[in-house]
Structure 1
Amino acid sequence: MAKKHETAIVSEPVAEQIPNGIKAEKKKKKKKDKQNEASPKRKLEEVEIHDDTESNKKSKKHKKSKQNAEENGTVEGNDGNSTKDDESARDGSVVVTGKNVKDAKYEPLRTFSASGLPENVLECCKNFERPSPIQSRAWPFLLDGRDLIGIAATGSGKTLAFGIPAIMHVKSKRKGKASKGRNPLCLVLSPTRELAQQISDVISDAGSSCGVESICLYGGTSKGPQISSLKSGIDIVIGTPGRIKDLIEMGVCCLKEVSFVVLDEADRMLDMGFEQAVRSILGQTCSVRQMVMFSATWPLPVHQLAQEFMDPNPVKVVVGSEDLAANHDVMQIVEVLEDHSRDKRLAALLEKYHESQRNRVLVFVLYKWEATRVENMLREGGWKVVSIHGDKAQSERTKALSLFKKGSCPLMIATDVAARGLDIPDVEVVINYSFPLTTEDYVHRIGRTGRAGKKGVAHTFFTKHNKGLAGELVNVLKEAGQVVPEALLKFGTHVKKKESKLYGAHFKEIPVNAPKSQKITFDNSDDED
């Protein structure tokens, strides 16, 4: 039974017998302390004079940076990238913030021809009616050389949003000269091999019509061909941080001329532990460079990386919301069930969604061993199925993905290596056999369907082991106007706060039926002289 909270009363301390001289000195000191409290700036200056610790040096640096910003007419705001001269422009579901964003030259592009880009550069866009929202808003800024942060859901056309400006950057730098034997000018970093390959396919296709060459560098495959391509000369390097860092250390990947850098899925890169590798790679590029960061969410670590490596006042383009939100073209169905009933339920859903065995269905699991087990189970049940996960060689992963894309084997089992690396417009159904470790990954998984304006279905199994994420999942379902099952609500709707990697959790789990807290008041005894 919860204890009843009572009002605590603190009595005033008994006055001490203090000699007049000491008492006067204490009064004088107290008065000085109050003055310092009223003037935080003065107090900070005194600390800086007497304290030369490492943390104080950082304080001095931050203060000096802020003073310089004020002299230049900018003041850092709460988001770390705002200024007092910032503007905000809204265009439907797109919000753009930054300096001079309302300038006429940054008007959103309603047609591809309005961009003024050469026809051979726009050749890759011929199958699209008009620029997507992120392209419409990002191109004018990126083509003008501005640093940019793009927050957009998966499947929003962001690859071409940064790919076309990257190609134009190369063309303006090369000025018609061949890239043979020359160092790359653009770099695109991606968290996974599959996503790197997807980006490479799009940019290679876009660059082929205008003579811009690119290469995809990732692990799990031979370095020989990659090294040969780098030595022959390349314009754009696309790849994962691990392999690029290896090739830099071998002395075969020189990024000293790279002046256009893209971090795609920046949040995922940091989640996967690539932060040090990313910092090391960025240190090899030009000191004066155009930085582009794309992310589906905007967590604190990504925000800090942007502050460190981007212009103090980048343009920020948000399509939809910065908060966690799912694609509204996807119908989300969540079932709460027991672990042991998942196999039987999966077979029943495949009978429903994959009866013809022609439409593409993607089944997500959490672990590598789980992928193998589910694949074998389905194959024994007569289903034609392939899988991709971390224990498979890259050649096997590439082959499986190719079979799935072509439709030769339209049923695939995958771990989260595929959650952000597949851009296949015709995936009709996603089944989450195992719920992911984060709700962010859930949003990315179901984003494999409902792409390019098409509708999709995401069917998810949720068990008692996932109850810590129930509140976040409920919020995602409600935001998208989806049905929230009663069984899910029984786990509670509170959202677990993120934990500090350094200090751990600073919160206490509160059950749904917890009694309301009572107010505790204290007498104010600070008025005594």
Structure 2
Amino acid sequence: MKFEQYNISPDIKESLEELGFKRPTDIQYKAIPSILKGEDVLAIAQTGTGKTAAFAIPILHMLQRKQLQRKSSRHTLRCLVMVPTRELAIQIAGVFEQIGQFTDLCILGLFGGVDQDEQINQLKRGVDIIIATPGRMFDLIHQEFIDLSTVRILVLDEADHMLDLGFNKDIRDVKRLLPKEHQTLFFSATIDEKIKDLAYALVRNPIRIQVSPQDPVSKNVSHAVAFVEMDDKRFFLERLVKESPDKKILVFVRTKVRAERVLLAMQRVGIPAITMHGGKEQDDRLQVMDQFKEGTVKMLITTDVNARGIDIPNVDYVVNYDLPDLPENYVHRVGRTGRGVQKGQAVSFCSTEEKPILERIQEYIGKEVHEMTIRKDDYRETLAFSADVPNDNWRQLLEEDKKTTAKVRKKKKK
């Protein structure tokens, strides 16, 4: 079934056609009809499956229809989308704006880290849909700039991540501020008892939709692990970049301090890179994301702030410079590549001390990650031919190793 066959607004169909949306993904095909019927939905689908459009399309259609029925140009808050991070709020607001570009609906991304005055001015003019992080939203509720009594649709996106970040109470507090009669859409990448308890406490007889293949890692992603010692990882990252100069590479590290150290290591060998982590100001984070998305800079070094839900187009490589502490974050990280119909590659650098983490990851995804075998001479060559110090020492060691190997081979021939 194609989108043009759906009973949705011609304005939305026009925007979908312009955006290149031909046919719905599995989650869109299963969720859109139930949402249009006004049913509560509990949807579980892995990253990169088109979850945002699965709720944005029907919500925009329903709100536009109500707006036209009222024959009023006044904007009234009808839909609240709660998300765990600023980046996700920006991204989802962008999707709503793209799909709703030919409607008269007003959409606002609401998040902290930026001055609130512009957001307040927009709220005063009127909005139909808010995509918000809890912190800034509650600030403006307490300042009486937001009234949730008119909301008819609540969306909880990346609900599992919201629970991980401790937003359980915030979610329940929001429910108490909503009118009794409203529709709840609950979207999550994973499902466990904690998620189930929250979901069934919030939704009424929900339609449960699960699009979850046995392999949690997208079939479009080829993934491998290279056993590299912690202090040597920068040399292997340098080699990967120099052997793939035109590729867009997303590098994950464990902490913001590590991100800045890896950035300095890349700068020393002449590789342009940028960093993204929670220590940056929001304006800087937005600028960094724009640079990477547009391909102005080909390497982005980030913490797990970009592992969940963020859609960055055309990422060729995901590099797990540090393995994630939580096995599920491995899936979220590698899900930043191989999105839609595109192919992607994920490479993990695993040091000796990280091997237990690798075992937990393999257990979580239900299979072994393919090992990239690195011979001793290849390992040494990678270090020796780095533009970084101490390459002279490594070149000397490599030459000595070659001489020793040649002598051993000569003896064997005799």
Q: Shorter chain as normaliser: what TM range?
A: 0.7 to 0.9
Deviations 1:290-309 (A, max 9, x none): 11111111122221111111
State the partner residue of 2:15: 124
Equivalent residues in 2 for 1:136-285, closer than 5 Å: 136-177=29-70, 182-285=75-178
- Check the 8 A contact 1:255/1:284 in 2, yes or no: yes
- Check the 8 A contact 2:160/2:191 in 1, yes or no: yes
State the partner residue of 1:320: 212
Query: Structure 2 CA distance, aligned partners of 1:352 and 1:224?
Result: 47
State the partner residue of 2:311: 423
Aligned match for 1:483, one of 370, 373, 393: 370
Equivalent residues in 2 for 1:403-442, closer than 5 Å: 403-442=291-330
Structure 1 residue 336, shift from structure 2 partner: 2.7
Deviations 1:338-376 (A, max 9, x none): 2112121211221223x2xx3311111110111111112
Deviations 1:219-256 (A, max 9, x none): 10000001111111100000111111111111111111
CA separation of 1:324 and 1:237: change in aligned 2, threshold 3 A:
farther
Structure 1 residue 132, shift from structure 2 partner: 0.9
CA separation of 1:190 and 1:465: change in aligned 2, threshold 3 A:
farther
CA separation of 1:149 and 1:400: change in aligned 2, threshold 3 A:
same
Gaps of 5+ in 1: 1-109, 488-529
Deviations 1:245-294 (A, max 9, x none): 11111111111111111111100011011111222122212221111111
Query: Structure 2 CA distance, aligned partners of 1:485 and 1:347?
Result: 17
State the partner residue of 1:62: none
Equivalent residues in 2 for 1:291-330, closer than 5 Å: 291-311=184-204, 313-321=205-213, 325-330=216-221
Query: Structure 1 CA distance, aligned partners of 2:325 and 2:55?
Result: 29
- Check the 8 A contact 2:337/2:345 in 1, yes or no: yes
Matched, 1:381 2:269: yes
State the partner residue of 2:256: 368
Query: Structure 2 CA distance, aligned partners of 1:458 and 1:334?
Result: 8
State the partner residue of 2:5: 114
Query: Structure 1 CA distance, aligned partners of 2:73 and 2:281?
Result: 32
Structure 1 residue 462, shift from structure 2 partner: 2.1
Query: Structure 2 CA distance, aligned partners of 1:176 and 1:372?
Result: 54
Q: In structure 2, give the amino acid aligned to 1:240.
A: T
- Check the 8 A contact 1:385/1:412 in 2, yes or no: yes
Query: Structure 1 CA distance, aligned partners of 2:8 and 2:58?
Result: 10
CA separation of 1:178 and 1:221: change in aligned 2, threshold 3 A:
farther
Is 150-159 or 123-132 further displaced after alignment?
123-132
Query: Structure 1 CA distance, aligned partners of 2:8 and 2:152?
Result: 20
CA separation of 1:382 and 1:226: change in aligned 2, threshold 3 A:
same
- Check the 8 A contact 2:226/2:371 in 1, yes or no: no
Structure 1 residue 332, shift from structure 2 partner: 0.5
State the partner residue of 2:407: none
SS of residue in 2 equivalent to 1:135: helix
- Check the 8 A contact 1:180/1:233 in 2, yes or no: no
Q: In structure 2, give the amino acid aligned to 1:113.
A: E
State the partner residue of 1:461: 349
CA separation of 1:339 and 1:178: change in aligned 2, threshold 3 A:
farther
Structure 1 residue 328, shift from structure 2 partner: 1.3
- Check the 8 A contact 1:385/1:411 in 2, yes or no: yes
Query: Structure 2 CA distance, aligned partners of 1:475 and 1:124?
Result: 42
Q: In structure 1, give the amino acid aligned to 2:210.
A: V
Query: Structure 2 CA distance, aligned partners of 1:261 and 1:178?
Result: 24
Q: In structure 2, give the amino acid aligned to 1:281.
A: V
State the partner residue of 1:394: 282
- Check the 8 A contact 2:307/2:329 in 1, yes or no: yes
Structure exhibiting the larger radius of gyration computed from Cα positions: 1
- Check the 8 A contact 1:334/1:460 in 2, yes or no: yes
Is 205-214 or 185-194 further displaced after alignment?
205-214
Q: In structure 1, give the amino acid aligned to 2:132.
A: G
State the partner residue of 1:339: 230
Query: Structure 2 CA distance, aligned partners of 1:249 and 1:380?
Result: 48
Deviations 1:2-25 (A, max 9, x none): xxxxxxxxxxxxxxxxxxxxxxxx
- Check the 8 A contact 1:477/1:483 in 2, yes or no: no
Query: Structure 2 CA distance, aligned partners of 1:173 and 1:237?
Result: 17
SS of residue in 1 equivalent to 2:140: helix
SS of residue in 2 equivalent to 1:208: coil
Query: Structure 1 CA distance, aligned partners of 2:371 and 2:152?
Result: 47
- Check the 8 A contact 2:328/2:364 in 1, yes or no: no
Q: In structure 2, give the amino acid aligned to 1:320.
A: S
Equivalent residues in 2 for 1:26-65, closer than 5 Å: none
Q: In structure 1, give the amino acid aligned to 2:260.
A: T
Q: In structure 1, give the amino acid aligned to 2:212.
A: G
Structure 1 residue 450, shift from structure 2 partner: 0.2
Deviations 1:143-163 (A, max 9, x none): 001111111111111111000
CA separation of 1:276 and 1:431: change in aligned 2, threshold 3 A:
same
SS of residue in 2 equivalent to 1:283: helix
- Check the 8 A contact 1:145/1:290 in 2, yes or no: yes
Query: Structure 1 CA distance, aligned partners of 2:119 and 2:86?
Result: 14
Q: TM-score, normalised by structure 2?
A: 0.85
- Check the 8 A contact 2:215/2:365 in 1, yes or no: no
State the partner residue of 1:349: 240
Query: Structure 1 CA distance, aligned partners of 2:195 and 2:120?
Result: 31
Deviations 1:65-90 (A, max 9, x none): xxxxxxxxxxxxxxxxxxxxxxxxxx
Equivalent residues in 2 for 1:474-513, closer than 5 Å: 474-475=362-363, 478-479=366-367, 483=370
Q: TM-score, normalised by structure 1?
A: 0.67
SS of residue in 2 equivalent to 1:452: coil
- Check the 8 A contact 1:124/1:206 in 2, yes or no: yes
SS of residue in 1 equivalent to 2:341: coil
Q: In structure 2, give the amino acid aligned to 1:483.
A: H
Matched, 1:450 2:342: no
State the partner residue of 2:379: none
Q: In structure 1, give the amino acid aligned to 2:370.
A: V
Query: Structure 1 CA distance, aligned partners of 2:369 and 2:326?
Result: 19
